[in-house]
Structure 1
Amino acid sequence: MLEQQWMPLVRLAALLAGDADAARDIVQDCYEAVWRLQPNVGDPEHFVAYLRKAVLNRSRSRLRRLRTVRRFLAQSRPPADAPPADRSLLVAELHRELLAHVDRLPARQREVIVLRYYSGLSEEQTAAAAGVSPGTVKSSTHRAIATLRRKMKDVPE
């Protein structure tokens, strides 16, 4: 009789618990508990009802535990949009590496990059400060950025 009830009870637990693997465990636990308790039930239909009720209760208990765990994890987890804890260290290291590569650029390219991006000057202001034409600023900037991209390409973003 227990063998005939296995699959219907597993289906019931799977529908209640929402997890087929957990459903097998739930039904197995109920079979074990019923075997251990050996309730004095003369009518087989009552016995099946007893098993069904046990599966229902175990499924409810599992769902309650899962809700509690999820609630706890949601409270203890940083928000999904929060940056990783080591982000500032990684960014600082990337900045150090970038500055080291900027230091190795040819003098004109280094000057143009520093004036344009660190000082925030326009192309015209950079050209006036460096004493070169705006075209030279554009070409030097382009070459410097290409070099920096090549040097930094192995760095994860």
Structure 2
Amino acid sequence: MAIEVTHPPARTAPGLEAVLERQWMPLVRLATLLVGDADSAPDIVQDCYEAVWRLRPDLGDPEHFVAYLRKAVVNRSRSRLRRLRTVRRFLAQARPPADAPPADDPMLLAERHRELLEHIDRLPTRQREVIVLRYYCEMSEVDAAAAIGVSVGTVKSSAHRALATLRGKMKDDSDEH
């Protein structure tokens, strides 16, 4: 035996459609002024209309109904503004500060470092030794000279030539990119 489900017939309040149609533009203007956005105002009013349509109110007092619609638009506008404030607050926190370095800086720096190491590897032996001891091991000229077994003057001149070569190579690499 099949059970038949019957729904009560949809009740259409007399004049509801006419009132909604007459109030559309005034309510859209109200929502526009409240939220400051002409694009979202019709959505706010439409949401109110859908809620009212589901209720199928009795239009015994059309003025009371219009006041109800206005109040609904005001409340939905407030809700929209609250959501927007929340979103803006979240975005402001998520946005990096204006003086923050670009996100790809570490990657670019690592790439430049790799290129520098490649150029150091191509230096003549003495220049490479001087650069490594002076700048990577942070030795003084005297300590670097003692480690290599050369004079301090040789360390100075080798470092000068190596740095000039590296500057030129790194400049050439940056011009190519």
For Structure 1 versus Structure 2, the TM-score category normalised by the shorter chain is 0.5 to 0.7
Shift of 1:32: 0.8
1:9 equivalent in alignment to 2:27: yes
Q: 1:151 to 1:2 in 2, by over 3 A?
A: same
Aligned counterpart for 1:22 among listed residues 40, 56, 62:
40
Question: 3-state DSSP class of the match of 1:153?
Answer: helix
Give percent identity, aligned residues only.
67
> Structure 1: which 5+ runs fail to align?
121-127
Find the aligned partners of 1:90 and 1:113 in 2 and give their Cα distance. Answer: 22
Higher helix share: 1
Q: If the length of structure 1 is used for normalisation, what is the TM-score? A: 0.63
Aligned counterpart for 2:69 among listed residues 51, 61, 70:
51
Shift of 1:44: 3.0
Q: How does 1:74-93 map to 2 (within 5 A)?
A: 74-75=92-93, 77=94, 79-80=96-97, 81-83=99-101, 87-93=105-111
Find the aligned partners of 2:176 and 2:30 in 1 and give their Cα distance. Answer: 53
Which protein shows a greater Rg? 2
Report the aligned-residue RMSD.
4.3
Shift of 1:149: 1.7
Q: If the length of structure 2 is used for normalisation, what is the TM-score? A: 0.57
Shift of 1:34: 1.2
Amino acid at match of 2:87: V
Aligned counterpart for 2:54 among listed residues 19, 36, 39:
36
Q: How does 1:44-123 map to 2 (within 5 A)?
A: 44-75=62-93, 77=94, 79-80=96-97, 81-83=99-101, 87-104=105-122
Amino acid at match of 2:173: K
Q: 1:20 to 1:117 in 2, by over 3 A?
A: farther
> Structure 2: which 5+ runs fail to align?
1-18, 139-150
